């Protein structure tokens, strides 16, 4: 599955180039809010490779304090080796249960988190991954894909099913899903709504998107093509929406509202997000895991 991992790294490069180009074309911050912000330089991703002792590793790519993005992350990883115990004792879910003692795994994936400066530009997240579990002598036990993409507008007036940005985003994901004969877009969209939900507030984290896990149709080539499509569509549709909103000036009250919704975002990630909680409890790369947190938050 080397070529699958290689493709995630390629997608990372193309998204990084896309987001850095957006940074260059975006006006400096002084155009948006002359009174309160310095002129900003276009942001650049800083790459930090990391190695995993048991096998594999990855690269974090973080952009901080850019013009368009206050914080953006595009992380990739390709890890393999014996199945970690933390996954098999219930912590990893059904995919990791009832495995032989000598089971090996291989996982590759990408994780994108975008927290723009301008409250009119939505935050967004996308990740896709491919996982294979084998016996010690190489026999395949199971292989599956997982992932998702969702949009989190940071002003109440954009948090509306009928808002142009929300419709554009859902339409792009629907189109990506429709390229695969076995993908049920509505099911993936419902899954997303159930997952990105804050029960204690009775509130959705954002306006949804798609979410799927432990998924495979039986046709590897089609599944991989779908995974590619989700990543590419996400990059394109986010660029479309960002360009639509980047020139809109914001008020102090709108910045404050953005930081309030960012607080909800942090609540979700720390209270409920499986990847975050699981990663932190099992000694994952803390910096990579917590880079999903918003650049700031407000609970007043």
Minimum Å gap between C-beta 34 and a second copy is 17
- Nearer to a second copy (CB atom), residue 60 or residue 108: 60
Helices assigned H by DSSP within 179-247: 185-195, 220-245
Question: CA–CA separation, 202 vs 46, rounded Å?
Answer: 37
- Nearer to a second copy (CB atom), residue 44 or residue 266: 266
Q: Which of 75, 93, 117, 81 is nearest to 250 (CA)?
A: 117
Question: CA–CA separation, 19 vs 30, rounded Å?
Answer: 20
For the chain, the farthest-separated pair of C-alpha atoms sits apart, in whole angstroms, at 65
Taking the CB of residue 162, how many other CB atoms lie within 10 A of it? 6
64 backbone dihedrals φ, ψ, rounded to 5°: -120, 140
Minimum Å gap between C-beta 47 and a second copy is 18
Residue 46 in the binding site for a second copy (CB under 8 A): no
Instruction: Tell me which of 31, 64, 197, 243 binds a second copy, using CB under 8 A.
Output: 64
Answer for the pair 4, 223: CB distance below 8 angstroms, yes or no.
no
Instruction: Tell me which of 46, 182, 187, 271 binds a second copy, using CB under 8 A.
Output: 271
Q: Is 163 a catalytic residue?
A: no
Minimum Å gap between C-beta 141 and a second copy is 30
Residue 12 in the binding site for a second copy (CB under 8 A): no
Q: At what angle do helices 164-178 and 185-195 cross, to 10 degrees?
A: 130
Instruction: Tell me which of 9, 56, 270, 278 binds a second copy, using CB under 8 A.
Output: 270
- Nearer to a second copy (CB atom), residue 166 or residue 288: 288
Question: CA–CA separation, 249 vs 21, rounded Å?
Answer: 21
Minimum Å gap between C-beta 142 and a second copy is 29
Catalytic one among 75, 78, 125, 180? 125
Footprint of a second copy (CB under 8 A):
64-65, 70-71, 199-201, 259, 263, 266-267, 270-271, 277, 280-281, 286, 289-291, 293-300
Active-site annotation, residues: 125
């Amino acid at each position: 599955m080397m070529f699958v991992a290689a493709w995630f790294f390629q997608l990372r490069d193309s998204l990084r180039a896309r987001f850095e180009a957006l940074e260059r074309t975006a006006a400096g911050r002084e155009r948006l809010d002359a009174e309160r912000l310095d002129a900003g330089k276009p942001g650049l991703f800083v790459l930090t490779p990391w190695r995993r002792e048991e096998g594999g590793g990855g690269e974090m790519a973080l952009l901080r304090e850019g013009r368009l993005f206050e914080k953006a992350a595009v992380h990739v990883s390709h890890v393999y080796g014996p199945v970690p115990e933390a996954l098999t004792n219930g912590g990893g879910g059904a995919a990791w249960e009832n495995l032989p003692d000598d089971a090996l795994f291989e996982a590759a994936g990408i994780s994108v988190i975008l927290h723009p400066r301008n409250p009119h530009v939505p935050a967004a997240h996308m990740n896709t991954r491919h996982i294979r579990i084998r016996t010690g002598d190489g026999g395949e036990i199971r292989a599956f894909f997982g992932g998702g993409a969702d949009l989190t507008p940071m002003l109440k007036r954009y948090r509306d099913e009928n808002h142009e940005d929300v419709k554009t985003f859902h339409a792009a994901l629907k189109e990506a899903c429709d390229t695969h004969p076995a993908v049920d877009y509505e099911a993936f969209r419902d899954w997303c709504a159930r997952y990105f939900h804050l029960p204690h507030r009775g509130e959705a984290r954002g306006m949804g998107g798609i979410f799927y896990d432990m998924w495979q149709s039986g046709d590897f080539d089609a599944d991989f093509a779908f995974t590619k499509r989700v990543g590419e569509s996400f990059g394109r549709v986010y660029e479309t929406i960002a360009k639509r909103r980047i020139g809109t000036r914001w008020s102090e009250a709108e910045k404050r509202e953005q930081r309030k919704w960012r607080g909800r975002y942090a609540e979700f990630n720390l209270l409920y997000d499986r990847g975050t909680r699981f990663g932190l409890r099992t000694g994952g790369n803390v910096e990579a895991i917590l880079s999903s947190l918003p650049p700031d938050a407000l609970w007043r």
